[in-house]
């Protein structure tokens, strides 16, 4: 991301700004930081912000600003340690002020998987696409095999259902202004039961929960590719979840033959590595599809909530992609076909642009 050091960083709260500047000054000597180079690196869908700062050595660091009580940096610190213990490439926490929500992290660079993949699609560079996606699936297997998931929160029945409930609340009612009949509500409830049962029947592993090209960095092989970001919501849950996130992403889509090719390779390698996998690839692929459907319904709800509650309307531009994913999967399986019919009138519906 090209930012000049002159880009002003805006603080809504002068007290927080003072706390930040005081903390940053305290860690300058140990790392040779040049505070004049502090600039915005990125923001995400949460309340966290990231800055980049250069050091006299020529290295650069990332500073996380995660204001309590809106954000808690402790899960980030814990999962970063889990990723490192599993031999994976994630930012290292070099300084921390947990009380104020400030972290100094090693910098994995600025080459996002997403932008490199999108450029490779445009130039038909299939070799780059395949290398990056195979690296990502190999790292995923390593994470599932080596990360100690026991300390992570459980991706349980209650959490899966809370996520699914975001769809009727924020997408159906708030964004589209639709009220379901009791019969439609019953169709929804029974589809939720099927998706939750499928998720809970799978072997459990550490789940990143947002393992997608926007959260992976292209890094040199000796450092470990990919670099892994945005992992603070990790849970202990269904083995198909992260693969579904990787293959059916918010910002880039693949032909199904390509998804299947990567999924088969993942399934074979995971079984060889000793992860519990269905004997039959067809059954595993169904689990991936149903898990992806649960995620896509949740994301439809989250993107609408970002628009209506958090004033971030840009995410709603991606609603059609998620509706297409959700409809395709629900129409394919007999048990879920009633859900596909429930989605159809919503897909072409006029958006309700009332901010209330």
Is the pLDDT assigned to residue 100 strictly greater than 80? yes
pLDDT at 46: 73
Average pLDDT over every residue of 3-10: 60
Is the pLDDT assigned to residue 1 strictly greater than 80? no
In the 3-class helix/strand/coil scheme, how is the chain assigned residue by residue?
CCCCCCCCCCCCCHHHHHHHHHHHHHHHHHHCECHHHCEEEEECCCCCEEEEEEECCCCEEEEEECCCCCCCCHHHHHHHHHHHHCCCECCCEEEEECCCCEEEEECCCCCEHHHHHHHHHHCCCHHHHHHHHHHHHHHHHHHHHHCCHHHCCECCHHHHHHHHHHHHHHHHHHHCCCCCCHHHHHHHHHHHHHHHHHHHCCCEEEECCCCCHHHEECCCCCCCCCEECCCCCCEEEECCHHHHHHHCCCCCCCCHHHHHHHHHHHHHHHHHHCCCCCCCHHHHHHHHHHHHHHHHHHHHHHHHHHHHCCCCHHHHHHHHHHHHHHHHHHHHCHHHHHHHHHHHHHHCCCCCCCCC
Average pLDDT over every residue of 202-227: 96
pLDDT at 7: 60
| Phi-psi sector, 180: left (phi>0), alpha (psi -120 to 50), beta | beta
**Which tokens is 130 given?**
């395949």
pLDDT tens profile 145-183: 999 999 899 999 999 999 999 999 999 999 999 999 999
Is the pLDDT assigned to residue 3 strictly greater than 70? no
Cβ–Cβ under 8 Å, residues 61 and 104: yes
Average pLDDT over every residue of 116-134: 97
Average pLDDT over every residue of 279-292: 97
What is the chain's length? Answer: 356
pLDDT at 6: 44
pLDDT at 251: 86
pLDDT at 44: 66
CA distances from 265 to 39, 230, 243, 272 (A): 41, 25, 11, 11
pLDDT tens profile 17-49: 999 999 999 999 999 999 999 999 976 667 899
Cβ–Cβ under 8 Å, residues 336 and 292: no
Q: Residue holding tokens 């596909």?
A: 340
Whole-angstrom Cα distance, residue 116 to residue 21? 34
pLDDT tens profile 337-350: 999 999 999 997 54
**Which tokens is 265 given?**
């390779």
Cβ–Cβ under 8 Å, residues 42 and 115: no
pLDDT at 42: 79
pLDDT tens profile 219-242: 999 999 999 999 999 999 999 999
- Strand-by-strand arrangement of the 93-97 sheet: 39-43, 49-54, 60-65, 102-106, 93-97
Given the DSSP bridges, would you call strands 102-106 and 204-207 parallel, antiparallel or unpaired?
Answer: unpaired
Domains in the chain, CATH or no CATH each: 14-106 (3.30.200.20), 113-347 (3.90.1200.10)
**Which tokens is 317 given?**
């531009």
| Phi-psi sector, 217: left (phi>0), alpha (psi -120 to 50), beta | beta
Given the DSSP bridges, would you call strands 216-217 and 204-207 parallel, antiparallel or unpaired?
Answer: unpaired
Average pLDDT over every residue of 265-279: 97
Closest CA to 207 of 236, 187, 173: 236
Whole-angstrom Cα distance, residue 164 to residue 156? 12
């Amino acid at each position: 991301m090209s930012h000049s050091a002159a880009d002003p960083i805006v603080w809504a709260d002068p007290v927080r700004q003072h706390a930040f500047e005081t903390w940053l000054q305290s860690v300058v000597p140990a790392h040779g930081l040049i505070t004049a180079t502090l600039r915005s690196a990125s923001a995400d869908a949460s309340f966290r912000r990231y800055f980049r700062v250069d050091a006299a050595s020529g290295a650069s660091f990332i500073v996380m600003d995660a204001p309590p009580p809106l954000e808690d940096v402790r899960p980030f610190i814990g999962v970063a340690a889990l990723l490192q213990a599993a031999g994976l490439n994630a930012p290292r926490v070099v300084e921390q002020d947990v009380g104020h929500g400030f972290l100094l992290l090693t910098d994995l660079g600025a080459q996002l998987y997403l932008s490199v993949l999108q450029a490779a699609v445009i130039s038909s560079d299939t070799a780059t696409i395949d290398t990056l996606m195979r690296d990502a699936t190999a790292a995923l297997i390593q994470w599932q095999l080596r990360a100690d998931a026991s300390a992570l929160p459980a991706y349980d029945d209650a959490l899966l259902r809370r996520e699914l409930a975001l769809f009727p609340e924020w997408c159906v009612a708030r964004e589209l202004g639709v009220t379901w009949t009791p019969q439609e509500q019953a169709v929804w409830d029974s589809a939720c039961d099927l998706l939750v049962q499928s998720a809970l029947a799978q072997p459990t592993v550490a789940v990143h929960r947002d393992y997608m090209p926007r959260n992976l960095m292209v890094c040199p092989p000796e450092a470990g590719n990919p670099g892994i970001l945005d992992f603070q919501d990790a849970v202990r849950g269904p083995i198909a979840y992260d693969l579904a996130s990787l293959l059916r992403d918010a910002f880039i889509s693949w032909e199904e033959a390509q998804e299947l090719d990567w999924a088969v390779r993942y399934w074979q390698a995971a079984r060889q590595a000793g992860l519990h996998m269905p004997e039959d690839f067809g059954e595993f692929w169904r689990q991936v599809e149903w898990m992806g459907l649960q995620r896509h319904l949740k994301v439809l709800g989250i993107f609408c909530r970002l628009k209506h509650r958090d004033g971030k309307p840009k995410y709603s531009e991606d609603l059609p992609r998620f509706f297409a994913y959700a409809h395709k999967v629900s129409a394919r399986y007999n048990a879920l076909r009633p859900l596909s019919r429930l989605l159809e009138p919503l897909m072409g519906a006029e958006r309700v642009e009332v901010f209330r």
